[in-house]
Amino acid sequence: MKKHITLLPGDGIGPEIVAAAKKVLDVINERYDYEFTSEEQDIGGIAIDKTGNPLPEETIKACENSDAILLGAVGGPKWANQSVRPEQGLLKIRKHFNLFANLRPVTIFDALESSSPLKKEIVQGSDLMIVRELTGGLYFGQPSERRDNGKSVIDSLTYTRDEIERIVKIGFDTAMLRDKHLTSVDKANVLESSRMWREIVDEIGKEYPEVTVSHVLVDAAAMKLITNPKSFDVIVTENLFGDILSDEASVITGSLGVLPSASLNQDNFGLYEPIHGSAPDIAGLGKANPIGMILSVGMMLKYSFNLESEAAKIEEAVNKVLNDGYVTADLMSDDGQVLSTMEMTDKIISYL
Amino acid sequence: MKKHITLLPGDGIGPEIVAAAKKVLDVINERYDYEFTSEEQDIGGIAIDKTGNPLPEETIKACENSDAILLGAVGGPKWANQSVRPEQGLLKIRKHFNLFANLRPVTIFDALESSSPLKKEIVQGSDLMIVRELTGGLYFGQPSERRDNGKSVIDSLTYTRDEIERIVKIGFDTAMLRDKHLTSVDKANVLESSRMWREIVDEIGKEYPEVTVSHVLVDAAAMKLITNPKSFDVIVTENLFGDILSDEASVITGSLGVLPSASLNQDNFGLYEPIHGSAPDIAGLGKANPIGMILSVGMMLKYSFNLESEAAKIEEAVNKVLNDGYVTADLMSDDGQVLSTMEMTDKIISYL
Ligand SMILES: CC(C)[C@H](C(=O)O)[C@@H](O)C(=O)O
Ligand SMILES: CC(C)[C@H](C(=O)O)[C@@H](O)C(=O)O
């Protein structure tokens, strides 16, 4: 198998963790006799510094000529108060490649259970997948502007039926591969878009008789994620609700640094990135946790390259390393052995 | 002091807890020689059943002729799948009386600390107030409709400068009476309305030099409420973000049933209600927790009638009852004595 991957290290700890990802890719190359090639391109703050543009043409071209994208992180205080901001690169790349399906697994690793802010009996055994719509809704709806000489403002939450249908289908397909329970989150008691969303979920649900469907309001979902995270299997929801709920869900694990994500288009072309941010405070110190990034490589192998067993190998290796008590500085642990970014990467590779 | 109050029992457990509120009011009447009169009117599902309208004219008239409104709860599965729904009564009454400022204190009662889903060391000592904008944003913005023969849909997040200014001021004023720290929550990296919101917070902040201000993105706020609730004092945010975050914040206390809320207009006229729902499953069984409702009476005394010390008395009585180990069925407790709705009410009254 031959694949070309664009690496977008980005800002903060991005370069360190993408270097870790590359090392893992190289090992997979050797072990399995694949030909994974890669090139680095700029996105986010570093791209603004070099070109004034958070997503330069060259980066887009490179991604277009690739089979997948691995992203580190973008953003930082340096660029926070300018009109051109690093996150715009992220929003643009999602839209450009039509990466409408954001998959965020929220897994509690046995070894890290004690890091959760939740009580053990509540969090234990939680395992859910959030399917977030990523290229519609308030993030891209027009009009989005000041009006009346700055006396008022409007943003628009827009969806087409097709946009809702395709993400809802991904929700059902994902549920079919898991515990066959889909929770659709909306605010149907207030929003017309949510009422349409709910109708579409019910329509498409007819094609998936094995999947049980619950409709939960977004405020109730925000509560239930804390009081009973185990009750969820797959959550499907629109862009902004997904943004809020997936971040909320990820902290209940107590280990943000180990969680990956995939953003896919209709053809399973995708951008893979850890869910944590650029952590500028620890950038360059070799302290960053590479696990979220390495598990993102695993998701790439699974979703874009159909290499299920290789992806599972990576997950297993991570699990073993954690079970053997190895951690990085971000993971609270009483008796774990704290490794640097590269030591952790090498340890995982040694278990592969 | 003479005051007339409209009681809106509503649905589910609403009538039981409003009866509890009335009993407390009667006692305050006697003890302090006030003249609090009241009348009951319909709202929500029961109003739909009787008149087809979740907020009948008669109810509006009665509220207009009152000094405050006490609401139990609205809604239930009975009315969930109709086009006229109980919640519409709630949205209409908020809009009609311009109740733009929703105050939701999130308090951890010492006696209930162990009911929190969060670990003790994280939740202990948390005490925050959420100031939610209640009559603008996506809840009321136009257009909100299907388009292209049902092929697309739009909701609108609209705000005028005035609407943002007045709620932000309430946020600052609230902070001045507390620990002088205001967290403004927005999604300024994506929404134009949030960028305007942030500018206004910074402008108005100049008039409150003693208040420290943090701007936090809504996804980050959803995380921080779980990982570090103690870091918040007052949160001010727009309608939908406030809906999600205030519900999220309330479950970290582990005692939804004891939390009150106030929804105020510019003249401190207000609607007071517990934050829990109508709990149709336990309606009529005498199991409902009256504390959220009774503390809402306390908020009414404080915010609409300026009776600070009477309000404090109610809070103290509730605290004492809980500290003495009395609970209702909803409050998990290993060794507490479980009381019915009316027993709990009488117990609180006996401590007044
Ligand atoms: C950086 C920001 C625009 C982005 C989003 O809101 O989608 C981020 O929070 C995320 O979840 O990937
Ligand atoms: C019932 C519903 C419309 C309402 C809201 O979303 O405002 C409720 O969730 C609340 O928070 O009071």
The CA distance from B129 to B159, in Å, is 23
Show the CA angle centred on residue B101, arms to residues A80 and B32, nearest 5°.
140
Whether the bond between B143 and the residue before it is cis, its omega within 30 degrees of 0, is yes
Domain ranges of chain B: 1-104+256-352, 117-252
Across chain B, mean pLDDT equals: 96
Q: Which two tokens stand for residue A10?
A: 């980005």
- Alpha-carbon distance of B38 to B59, in angstroms, equals 13
Which residue, among A106, A228, A244, A331, would best test binding to B if mutated, counting the most B CBs under 10 Å from its CB?
A: A244
Adjacency order of strands within the sheet including B101-107: B35-40, B2-10, B68-73, B270-274, B260-264, B101-107, B127-133, B234-237, B181-186, B212-217
B248 vs A151: CB contact, 8 Å cut-off?
Answer: no
The DSSP-derived string for B318-332 is: HHHHHHTTEE-TTS-
Helices B341-350/B14-32 angle, 10° precision: 20
- How far does the CA of residue B169 sit from the closest CA of chain A (Å)? 17
Known binding residue B282? Answer is: yes
Query: Residue B104 CA to chain centroid, in angstroms?
Result: 5
Chain A residues whose beta carbon lies within 8 Å of the beta carbon of residue B248: 219, 222-223, 226, 248
pLDDT of residue B327 exceeding 80:
yes
Query: What pLDDT, in 10s, does the model give residues B218-252?
Result: 999 999 999 999 999 999 999 999 999 999 999 99
Q: How remote is the CA of residue A283 from the centroid of ligand 1, in Å?
A: 20
- List CB contacts (< 8 A) between A218 and chain B: 243-244
SS3 percent helix, strand, coil of chain A, rounded to 5, is 45, 25, 30
Q: Are B174 and B230 in contact (CB under 8 A)?
A: no
- Ligand 2 pocket mutation, candidates B71, B79, B103, B243, criterion most atoms within 8 A of CB: B243
B297 membership: H or E segment, kind and range: helix B291-303
Q: Is B206 helix (H, G, I), strand (E, B) or coil?
A: coil
* Confidence band, pLDDT 50/70/90 cuts, at residue B333: low
pLDDT band of residue B65 (cuts 50, 70, 90) is: very high
Spelled out in words, what is the top-level CATH class assigned to the domain B1-104+256-352? Answer: alpha beta
The tokens describing B210, both together, are 């003693």
Predicted confidence band of residue A335 (pLDDT cuts 50, 70, 90) = confident
Taking the CA of B44 as reference, the closest ligand is 2
- pLDDT higher than 80, residue A333: no
Give dist(CA A282, CA A287) in Å, integer.
7
Contact A196, A164 (CB under 8 A): yes
Q: How far does the CA of residue A51 sit from the closest CA of chain B (Å)?
A: 21
Please give the structure tokens belonging to residue A12: 């903060």
Among chain B residues, CA nearest to A81 = B189
Whether the CB-CB separation of B175 and B141 falls below 8 Å is answered with: no
pLDDT at residue B332 tops 80: no
In angstroms, rounded to a whole number, what is the distance separating the alpha carbons of residues B314 and A305?
63
CB contact under 8 A, B247 and A222: yes
The fold adopted by the segment(s) B117-252 is Isopropylmalate Dehydrogenase (3.40.718)
Question: The domain at A1-105+266-352 falls in which architecture?
Answer: 3-Layer(aba) Sandwich (3.40)
Helix locations, A238-281, DSSP H: 239-252
Test site for ligand 2: of A219, A223, A241, most ligand atoms within 8 A of the Cβ: A219
Strand duo A101-107 + A260-264: pairing: antiparallel
Report pLDDT digits (tens) over A155-182: 999 999 999 999 999 999 999 999 999 9
- Reference A185, options A242, A230, A225, A140; nearest CA is A242
Q: What is the DSSP letter of B188?
A: T
Q: From the CA of A273, give the closest atom in ligand 1.
A: 12
Q: Is A187 a catalytic residue?
A: yes
A74 φ, ψ (degrees, to nearest 5): -130, 155
Residues whose CB falls within 8 Å of the CB of residue B199, separated by 6 or more in sequence, listed in order? none
Which strands, in side-by-side order, build the sheet including A127-133?
A35-40, A2-10, A68-73, A270-274, A260-264, A101-107, A127-133, A234-237, A181-186, A212-217
Q: Determine whether the interchain pair B192/A155 forms a contact, defined as Cβ–Cβ distance below 8 Å.
A: yes
Amino acid at B4: H
B87 lines ligand 2 (CB under 6 A): yes
Average pLDDT score over residue span B214-221: 97
- Helices A239-252 and B218-227 cross at an angle (nearest 10°) of 20
Strand, coil or helix: B289: coil
* Ligand 1 contact via B219 beta carbon (within 6 Å): yes
- Cα of first residue to Cα of last residue in chain B, in angstroms, is 19
Torsion from C-alpha of A300, A305, A308, A314, nearest 10 degrees: -40
Its pTM stands at 0.97
Q: Whose CA is nearest to atom 2 of ligand 2?
A: B87
Q: How far apart are CA A196 and CA A201, in angstroms?
A: 9
A223 with B154: Cβ contact below 8 A: no
Question: Is the CB of B176 inside 8 Å of chain A's CB atoms?
Answer: no
Same fold, B1-104+256-352 and B117-252: yes
Distance A48 CA to ligand 1 centre (A): 18
Contact (CB, 8 A) for A128 and A229: yes
B275 CA: nearest ligand 2 atom: 12
- C-alpha dist (Å) from residue A22 to A37, A41, A72, B187: 10, 14, 11, 33
CB A352 within 8 A of CB A31: yes
Shortest-distance atom of ligand 1 to CA A246: 11
Q: What is the mean pLDDT of residues B147-167?
A: 98
From CA B243, how far away is CA B131, in angstroms rounded? 10
First-residue to last-residue Cα distance in chain A:
19
The half-sphere exposure of B75 on its side-chain side, counting CA atoms within 13 A, is 12
How distant is the Cα of B290 from the closest Cα of chain A, in angstroms?
Answer: 21
CA-to-CA distance for A52 and A57, rounded, in angstroms? 11
Residue B306: CB atoms within 10 A of its CB come to: 11
Q: In this predicted structure, what is the pLDDT of residue B213?
A: 98
Q: What per-residue confidence (pLDDT) applies to B335?
A: 76
**Residue B187 designated active-site:** yes
- The Å distance, Cα B124 to ligand 2 centre, comes to 28
Quick: pLDDT tens for A191-221.
Answer: 999 999 999 999 999 999 999 999 999 999 9
Q: Does ligand 1 come within 6 angstroms of the Cβ of B190? A: yes
User: In the annotation, is B243 catalytic?
Assistant: yes
Q: What is the Å distance from ligand 1's center to A243 Cα?
A: 7
B159 touches chain A (CB under 8 A): yes
Angle at A338 between CA A337 and CA A342, to 5 degrees: 120
Tokens of A17: 């963790």
d(Cα A140, Cα B99) in Å, to the nearest integer?
31
B340's tokens: 């019915």
pLDDT digits (tens, 9 = 90+) for A299-318: 999 999 999 999 999 999 99
Q: Are strands B35-40 and B101-107 parallel, antiparallel or unpaired?
A: unpaired
**Segment (H or E) for A62:** helix A57-64
- pLDDT, residue A336, reads 82
Is residue A134 within 6 Å of ligand 1 at its C-beta? no
Q: How confident is the model at residue B81 (pLDDT cuts 50, 70, 90)?
A: confident
A337 exposure class (CB count in 10 Å sphere: 0-12, 13-18, 19+): exposed
Rounded Cα distance, B296 and A75, in Å: 43
Report chain A's mean pLDDT, rounded to a whole number: 96
The tokens of B90 are what?
A: 């709630």
Pair A161, A200: CB distance under 8 Å: yes
Q: Quick check: A75 and A85 in contact, CB under 8 A? A: yes
Amino acid occupying residue A39: E
Task: Tell me how far CA of residue A66 lies from CA of A36, A57, A72, A270, B30, in angstroms.
Answer: 11, 14, 17, 10, 79
Q: Report yes or no: A222 at the B interface, CB cutoff 8 Å.
A: yes
Residues in chain A within 8 Å Cβ distance of B144? 191-192
Which candidate in A22, A23, A187, A313 is catalytic? A187
Q: What is the pLDDT of residues A141-157, one digit of tens each?
A: 999 999 999 999 999 99
Q: Known catalytic residue: A243? A: yes
